[in-house]
Amino acid sequence: MPVVNLKSQLAAAMRLFRVPDDNADLTRAQFDAFSKQIPLLYFILMSNTIAVAYTYVNVAPDWLTMIVPSVLTVLAALRSFWWLRQRHLVRSDADILRNLRATNWMTLPIGAGFTAWSFALYPYGDAFAKSQVAFYMAVTVIGCIFSLMHLRSAALIVTLVVDVPYVLFFWATGEPTLKAIAVNNLLVSGAMVTVLFIYYRDFADLVSSRKSLLAQQAATQALSDENFRLANLDSLTELPNRRRFFAELSSAFTDAERRRVRVAVGILDLDGFKPINDNYGHSVGDRVLIEAGRRIREVCEGFGPQRVEFARLGGDEFGLVVCGDPEDDDLMRLGQRIGEQVRLPYQLDTAHTGLSCSIGFALFPSSATSAEALYECADYSLYHAKRHLRGRTVIFSSELEAEIRSRGVIENLLRTADFSTEMDLVFQPIVDAMSEHTAGFEVLARWHSSRLGLVSPADFIPAAERIGLIRPLTQALLARALATARTWPDHIRLSFNLSAHDVCAAEGILPLISIIERSGLPPHRIDFEITETAVTFDFVRAQQSIATLKAMGCGISLDDFGTGYSSLSHVHRLPLDKIKIDRSFVADINENPVSHKIIKSLAGLCDDMEIACVAEGVETRAQLDSLRRLGCDFIQGYYFAKPMSGDAIGDYLAKERQRLGDAGAKVVA
């Protein structure tokens, strides 16, 4: 048992003089710290050696004062230079371990060489020179121990190789001063070794703690990266989200600006998506969005040579950032490919849906000089596409820029407009198709701006919607229209247009109801016209508003029928009294068989559902005769009268009575 303990202790002692190979992190840390301090160790050796050699140059042989110190100094300089190079090299763990072990064992011959040279030089000096040798060896070994602290095994080897012979040698001289120096050096070296063990233990603990900290930081970084990924990912489609899109836009714009190349921004909107949600539910709508996003992403990933970043901005709106110096033709080609994929059928359970998409592009530097302005230009291109070229791709141009400037002027002037003086009302007759008696008037707004002159409703109505003035404008115009209608015969109705913001407002249509009640005009003489676009804006809220107006006794007309997305579904789900066929079908009813068939079908639908059918845009007798034969109930258009002021309505009705009376007298005659 004692023999076993002795062997264990000897093995443990031997491990103190070896570089450990079981901790790669500790070994690398030792190498990094050691490589910074080893040049200092060799500087101490060289400077002290030169000083001692200089002292003995005239009293000792040349080989001891010149040759041996030169060899030792050159060797130290070469090793110092080698270690200085290690700071700039990337080494593997195996290389580091091999270098440390080589350095560890090189301390034995180097330490023995300097010690032997010191002892060989000692006999040639006087008392002062001999004291310098003792001082040289003591100071040098202490400096070396300090410099080798990160490589404990090397520090211990130097201590044994230098200090043990040092103490024995100077004790053996019998000189009391030198014996005291030897004992003092032994005690100091013992203290230094104790400090060495404590420092090495703390250094190893620090490396271990650093490793744990790095692991914790890595885990934290991984969690941060995942949170960043989720924060920049759309949860439904798993596409980059709005936040990521604008980050990509900013980065791409900065890069394009620096390199002086083009970059494009595109905004894509799915045409016909809202009715899918209304008709089939949000679960089907979500699946359509996922599938549409997948198709568009595949087009973007396969589009070259430009790089296309694709993201979902929200709802059924997506964003594109096209890098790689794209041309207009590249953008049109990209838009065409996306449109072709989006228009393919969507077969989801029993619901077979179809979509199209409108895309607006803007190109830097021709369209804008900042990322924000470029996005706004793309947004306006999309707006233009949805209004005039639905399902197509539009690239921002100088013409659209002029429109924006005009739109901005209109918006600014509209904010300061006096509705009571600048807004005029005109009225267009709605005529019974068979008797040709006027059944009512549709009220139309005209804006006479003091700066712009006459502004078209097609311009100022959308502007009022954009800047949030459409509801106060509607209320002001409705109050004036109702006041005018009170002067008409009791059988004449008033038809008034409502926008999406009027019927879908969060606070409902209470202000309109209040205006109707204050006007004194019976609700049954009022028809409210609502477009399909307004209905699809928020169908549920629009349905509630329409039901409230219907309960008061007002009539409800669906305007511009046939130009929306899901007309038949709205006909079935809304309490309608009239459907107005859009003028685009009436214009070529006698030239285009398709228009003729559409109007015939719509008139038949209205008859089956007991809903009145109103045809807009009638300008010729031939159109009137065709519409009569097809079963349209009411006619509206320039054939009977252009829109007129309220003051002219009395004369118009009087002339109509005279005209129809004369026609009746002729029939009797």
* Catalytic sites, residue numbers: 316
For 349, 397, 418, 423, 515, the CA distances from 476, given in Å and listed in that order, are: 48, 37, 10, 9, 9
Q: Burial-class residue 518 by CB neighbours within 10 Å (0-12, 13-18, 19+).
A: exposed
Q: How many Å apart are CA 498 and CA 445, to the nearest integer?
A: 12
Spatial contact of 490 and 525, defined as CB atoms under 8 Å apart: yes
- Nearest 5°: the CA angle 198, 203, 209 is 125
First-to-last C-alpha distance (Å) of the chain? 147
Q: Give residue 63's Cα distance to chain centre.
A: 77
Spatial contact of 360 and 304, defined as CB atoms under 8 Å apart: no
Return the SS3 of 173.
coil
Tokens encoding 268: 């894509």
Q: Give residue 443's Cα distance to chain centre.
A: 45
- Nearest 5°: the CA angle 9, 13, 18 is 140
**Residue of 342, 383, 344 whose CA lies nearest to 361:** 383
Tokens encoding 479: 């109050």
Cβ neighbours of 585 (radius 10 Å) = 22
Give me the helices (H) in 615-648, please.
Answer: 621-630
Residue 308 exposure: Cα atoms within 13 Å on the Cβ side: 25
Which residues have CB under 8 Å from 300's CB, separation 6+? 308, 309, 310, 320, 334, 338
- Measured in residues, the chain has a length of 669
**Mind spelling out the 3-state secondary structure of 104-167?**
HHHHHHHHHHHHHHHHHHHHHCCHHHHHHHHHHHHHHHHHHHHHCCCCHHHHHHHHHHHHHHHH
Q: Burial-class residue 256 by CB neighbours within 10 Å (0-12, 13-18, 19+).
A: buried
DSSP percent split of the chain into helix, strand, coil, nearest 5:
65, 15, 20
